[in-house]
Structure 1
Amino acid sequence: MVMNLTKNQFRTVAAAIVASGTDDLNVMFLSFSMSSIIAEFSLSGGQAGLIATITNLGMLFGGLFFGVLADRYNKMTVFKSTLIVFSLATALIFFAPSVGWLYVLRFIAGIGVGGEYGIALSIMAGIVPANRMGRISSLNGVAGQVGSIASALVAGVFLSALGWRGLFLFGLFPLLVVLYLQFFVKAEPSEEHQAVAPLTISHEKKDSQELKQGKKPSIGDLFNTPQIAKQTILLMVMTTVQIAGYFGMMNWLPTMMQNQMGISQNNSSLWMITTIVGMSIGMLVFGKLIDTIGPRASYGIFLICSAIAVYLFTFVQSEITMLFGGALMGFFVNGMFAGYGAIVTRLYDSRIHSIANNTILNVGRAIGGFSSVIIGMIMDGSGIPMVMIFLATLYLISFAAMMMIGGLKRSSYQQKTEPVSLVTE
């Protein structure tokens, strides 16, 4: 992947990718400390589950709030602010005297995490050639998987010695990224002018006129015409399925395997590792595909294969097939995650990139997060095969939504990857 980036641009993109990895590093700390938190605060299952729910609500609020700020003002400044917010809120959990304070701090941390994602993609989209954005977006997704693995390693080494509270002190790590950005990365020309007038792509006449008239970017821009509103809603459906499938796979399948096959906890952990490896490879492949054959064909292949892979996992009968099936399922199911940042930056004007990315993904997070509850109810009432049919059906619904989104065919999509002039006032 050859790109003519300056040294400063390379540093900016690299820092944005690393920052995205620290998101998952912080979020996953909760998974590894949950049992200790339940024991210390004597929480019920509902009270414990509320911690994750509150975090997701914080992500939704942060995505909307910081997305608007980033598109109206200086993206890099707002980006660094999101890192500071979730870093400090995560570390302050060390001092949480009660579950009430834990809820508050997780909500604040969620605000920062929800804001960071779309701004990072928007910053990268302003630097990276458009016909390479799929591959860069895939690296952004892989960074999240690396963050999850790093979280597991940190927990394995330090949890017993420092306790669950000490684990959250590692949440200060993103501050190193902030310091790096502050002292080693200079503002790109687009960032220097962003506070005065957001960038706009010149082939969008309407948006250029709105810019000249001083209209500020807002969430309403995602719904300002019937066509754009339809596109936004359909993308929200797709991201909801994406998150629902991920949560269903990572939260419930290890438990299913332990119950159905008598798989030990250690082997289910090995399954998670191979699945994450499959996810990472899938993201890299999908990023290449979307830049090469376009999003409609790429998503069509991966969505259909996801439905098939999830359903076939029902027939797993041995540890070998379990590991292979998990890697294959992860390859398709979460490989697609790499593409959303790329297509959103094509389908929406650059003046609302942060808003579009943050709003669409975090609505998907908020709604898709309820899949764990739905899957639990299906398991209680109908068993594992019905759960897998439910998940497979979700991917078929996402496929139908994708087919209704205009501008995803290779011909129309690649027209938007041609160099465009950026208008500043």
Structure 2
Amino acid sequence: MDVAELERTRAERKYGRKAIFSSALGYGLDGFDLLVLSFALPGIIATLHLTNTAAASLATITLIGAVIGGIVFGVLADRFGRVKMLSYSVIFFAVFTGLAALAQGYTDLAIYRFLAGIGIGGEFGIGMTLAAEAVPAKLRARATSWVGIGFQCGVLAAAFLSAPIISAFGWRGLFVVGAFPAIIALVLRKKLQESPKFLQRQAQTAENNLAPVSSVRSLRMLVADKETVGISIGMLVLNSVQNFGYYGIMIWLPSYLSTRFGFSLLGSATWTAVTVIGMMAGMVAFGYVADRLGRRKAFWIFQVGAALSVLVYSQLTDPTALLIGGFIMGAFADGMLGGYGTLMAEYYPTEARATAQNVLFNLGRAVGGFAPVVIAIIAASHGFGFALAVLPAIYVLAFFAMFLLPERKHIEL
């Protein structure tokens, strides 16, 4: 390897690390917001006099907003660039998260949460696209898994910061803290160059005197032919199952631990944090397995593990067993998160990649957004333990959806 090639390799590795870190940071803000809302719910219920179902709908409304944001920011990222739109989505999210601290009733809080959701919607797909395009094919699953770990770092930060912030400033203080990411977004944009794959596509378009891909055409590429339609359906099922399982578990886990076992807010945070650490460990493991054994085998292993571990966790009563079980459940139930970014990067072309990531993931997130309400309704009649016990059924659906998705390990984007 000559000096020029060595320098180029070093530059590519450096860019890859920066792209992964920036993407993980942006997605981490999404994770922080999720658990902040979870810990804020008891205070919101008391202050605004809401029912559990109405309070849970705030999470659903946020995730519905994310669908709109996913479509808008995904299309814009394919048209104007990944880094620019990632920054704008974070700023949009941060502003309306901060305004939620001023809410005086359900209606205005729901509006702020919906608008914050629009910003949240851009972060997964753009970050996953940026990371997938920044590394060699043999490392792709590990790269997108590290972006997913960023999400869990945000969740973990919220788990430890929520209790002291609530004690000092009340639930409104949590949303004030959520406004600070706007500063991070501005720094992020200045420090990171645009994706080489995106720039290469732009150059080819200009060289051949072609018009930029329109928003409508980007969306049509998700259903371009029979094979692509099958892939999009399969990805929609996988994303829906992933988000339904995740939000069904995480939104109500602190309340479940508190009401059934009498844990304090700090105690619930500790047990939740162990589950989140398990999720992070699962993502690291999934990335290596998917890059070594292939995407299908990795997903099947983790889907079976998720179904079994959630079922077992719902039956546990001993605090120590809950700690261990929570770690294992987290590893399998959320370890697959980065894999979705890998799959969608490999199935869709550069000019529609961010669109596909954001549209399909956030449609799945909209379906998953109903999980907190469904869990609340089932728990009202049969208890949270029973609600968790029926959740594993969704992973059977995901297992069979994998047959719609071809194996494309190590292909060049």
Pairing 1:65-214 to 2, within 5 Å after superposition: 65-192=72-199
Higher mean C-alpha deviation, range 242-251 or range 255-264: 255-264
CA deviation profile, 1:49-108 (whole Å, cap 9, x unmatched): 332222111101100111111112222222211111011111222333444332222111
Shift of 1:357: 0.9
Return the TM-score normalized by structure 1: 0.85
Distance 1:334 1:198, change over 3 A: farther
Letter in 2 for 1:326: G
What is the CA–CA distance in structure 1 between the aligned matches of 2:361 and 2:344, rounded to whole Å? 10
What is the CA–CA distance in structure 1 between the aligned matches of 2:165 and 2:129, rounded to whole Å? 35
Distance 1:360 1:8, change over 3 A: same
Pairing 1:22-421 to 2, within 5 Å after superposition: 22-192=29-199, 215-216=213-214, 217-253=217-253, 255-256=255-256, 267-382=267-382, 387-402=387-402, 404-408=403-407, 413-414=408-409, 417-419=410-412
CA deviation profile, 1:287-337 (whole Å, cap 9, x unmatched): 111111111110111111222222223442422222111111111111111
Letter in 2 for 1:288: Y
Shift of 1:177: 2.6
Contact (CA 8 Å) 1:74, 1:194: kept in 2 or not?
no
Distance 1:326 1:220, change over 3 A: same
What is the CA–CA distance in structure 2 between the aligned matches of 1:249 and 1:186, rounded to whole Å? 37
Higher mean C-alpha deviation, range 347-356 or range 281-290: 347-356
Aligned residues: 401
Distance 1:350 1:191, change over 3 A: closer
What is the CA–CA distance in structure 2 between the aligned matches of 1:82 and 1:296, rounded to whole Å? 32
Distance 1:396 1:127, change over 3 A: same
Shift of 1:47: 3.5
What is the CA–CA distance in structure 2 between the aligned matches of 1:123 and 1:248, rounded to whole Å? 28
What is the CA–CA distance in structure 2 between the aligned matches of 1:149 and 1:155, rounded to whole Å? 10
- Please list every run of 5 or more consecutive structure 2 residues that lacks an aligned counterpart in the other structure: 1-8
Return the TM-score normalized by structure 2: 0.87
Higher mean C-alpha deviation, range 385-394 or range 228-237: 385-394
Distance 1:30 1:185, change over 3 A: same
- Please list every run of 5 or more consecutive structure 1 residues that lacks an aligned counterpart in the other structure: 200-208, 421-425
CA deviation profile, 1:193-227 (whole Å, cap 9, x unmatched): 6667679xxxxxxxxx9x95754342222112222
Letter in 2 for 1:219: L
CA deviation profile, 1:155-176 (whole Å, cap 9, x unmatched): 2333332333333222233223
Higher mean C-alpha deviation, range 228-237 or range 37-46: 37-46
Match of 1:205 in 2: none
Distance 1:152 1:323, change over 3 A: closer
Letter in 1 for 2:120: V
What is the CA–CA distance in structure 2 between the aligned matches of 1:38 and 1:161, rounded to whole Å? 18
Shift of 1:271: 2.3
What is the CA–CA distance in structure 2 between the aligned matches of 1:27 and 1:315, rounded to whole Å? 26
Shift of 1:358: 0.8
Distance 1:182 1:269, change over 3 A: closer
Contact (CA 8 Å) 1:306, 1:392: kept in 2 or not?
yes
What is the CA–CA distance in structure 1 between the aligned matches of 2:175 and 2:383, rounded to whole Å? 36
Contact (CA 8 Å) 1:311, 1:389: kept in 2 or not?
yes
Shift of 1:389: 4.7
Contact (CA 8 Å) 1:79, 1:120: kept in 2 or not?
yes
Contact (CA 8 Å) 2:15, 2:134: kept in 1 or not?
no
Letter in 1 for 2:343: I
Contact (CA 8 Å) 1:22, 1:173: kept in 2 or not?
no
Shift of 1:262: 6.0
Shift of 1:112: 0.5
CA deviation profile, 1:130-171 (whole Å, cap 9, x unmatched): 221111111111111111121233323333323333332222
RMSD in angstroms over aligned alpha carbons? 2.8
Higher mean C-alpha deviation, range 162-171 or range 345-354: 162-171
Letter in 2 for 1:250: M
Distance 1:52 1:255, change over 3 A: closer
What is the CA–CA distance in structure 2 between the aligned matches of 1:264 and 1:88, rounded to whole Å? 31
Contact (CA 8 Å) 2:78, 2:351: kept in 1 or not?
yes
Distance 1:54 1:259, change over 3 A: closer
Letter in 1 for 2:406: G
CA deviation profile, 1:365-400 (whole Å, cap 9, x unmatched): 111222233333434555667535522221111101
Contact (CA 8 Å) 1:72, 1:194: kept in 2 or not?
no
